[in-house]
Structure 1
């Protein structure tokens, strides 16, 4: 008899959900975690980053407050206060995740684990345990380019522990992580330069929204260097950094943040030795049931590089546990997964972009609303929001919703239900507007 029915490597969102659900079905489950319980999202990803986003929003809110009658005599930001409060909240959440495992009688092992065979795991202490099934949920890590002086740069992992705010920061990358931190540091008062090796930001998002974000970011004071990349980084005598560049002038700065993608955490796990097939980027190749090329070994979350989003990893872990231990097999539907960028302002989208629809469907109808939110009008802020509906002209189905503006992700979550349910534009038109709100624009486009 095996020591466990299921052994999970990695206590991130996907691994914890799989372990908890499998245990609730009566399985004997253990989870090994070499760092901290909670994974990237809870410890050094979306949760602490969203708290920084909240903190950054006060920079503009305090300025706007004057037009609403509030007297704010002094505006002063203390990075250390926010940093330490965010760290305390992360500690609290880590404890909650550990408590969840304990409540469901999942054994938590604070050691690195590697795969010794298709049905056994070797712990860092040297102990070897057996399991009928092994689930790899080790996530991904920031990619750091191989160039001279790269050790002087930081990644999203180190941002949350900075001793002080940099006066100047150069951010490399064009994806959501780069744009989010560009907005955060800019609102905190740092001089931000975003460097991208192409001339396209946020590839995969709607083109109009991407252009609008660049326009607003430029207005807020963020600089951009397109079609440029680093050749080397040098530490100067005064402690600052000099980035030698290809495609633009060299950049003098106080900090450099690489946000140029993430790579699956597979190094040293013993996957190749037992025959688990990997893809070109090192991702674990799995089928629709999250099963690898070795029948007893499964994988979920970012380590599979399907869609690197926490809610997707959670659903993958849940589906795996229900299917393998609950007698209720199901698979994750990757169609119409909503995405958001918590930039300043945020943008969000679900379904087809206009470009994707025109390349896929015969007839496409586009409805847009380009407006100034009421709050911005009174505050004297010229920043405009943009909402877009992408409609299949043949069926009248709304196949995509995209928006940029205050609270766009909060609004889109509900709107995504309509796209997933394949509602028609006529259904939107029949819905009474909730006035006054920004969300009402979704049902007023004609």
Structure 2
């Protein structure tokens, strides 16, 4: 059983007036915690707090959450910690909005927080949205006029509707010094089938944006929840966290921060899952037209606006930032390395990137550290479906359904 997360506060209610009764048959505020991993997680010694200046306000007893499971704690101010009974915190939530956090046993590291949540009406919960995989949409036509609001019913058959496309797999960091490296992360709490997916990279010293100088490697058949693929151009294998190690792959590319380059992840249907480009003009990026794994690939729908500018100072790390993916230059910044010297030996001593508290196991502490925190709110809930073609000359509105 893991003793570290990541865990999420997925939902809470700060003005419960009749939605969920506690073990005293009273309607107390409540907090729902989710374990998105594939293994049980112990909450023994973790904390909940509504005060950013008092992170250890209420401590969990020896309870655990099953893989993919949920735990409800009542924020009732009754302070009950019997692990065999319903749990109650020593504070209540404020419906006017306040701070709320889940804190790791060290009393310092915040696993997930809301800083601050907005004012909430009676019997209205707040939290994380569901996964976009569950969303379907339909552009209504005159043939649907008789439906009224029937399509909003829970049992409505929407199997013929279209589904929204999304991906939780992102390029999170590129190193352009010595060695060159790339990180790819699955930022979701569920595994992603990456069979037939391809990583393609453009070498900086080959200046045209298209061929030659493109390196292609296959991704492993699955990326596990929170899993990070790290690869440099000195070793001949992917490296994994969470004890998942399988495919031996080559990465023989060279990048330069002061020049130009790009990298992309392509799925088995030829869809660009993620793209980052730097040093090109917007017009040059619009000319991207290459064949990757048998698919014709362009940047038309994968990137918006100009690429990331080259680093004027030679700062070697291109890092993803923020909690949402906008497919534009605002998603990345150039950063200096957080270690004293960049050498081939540093790859094996764990000095690349910053420590990542949201990863379990030795990969985050004694192996190569990672530079991006997974499970950021909003990352795996983005919807990337372009509906302009479906809606053109049909309707100015769409219907969308998502299971709650």
| TM band (smaller chain) | under 0.3
The structure where helix makes up a greater share of residues is: 1
The structure where strand makes up a greater share of residues is: 2
TM-score by length of 1: 0.24
TM-score by length of 2: 0.26
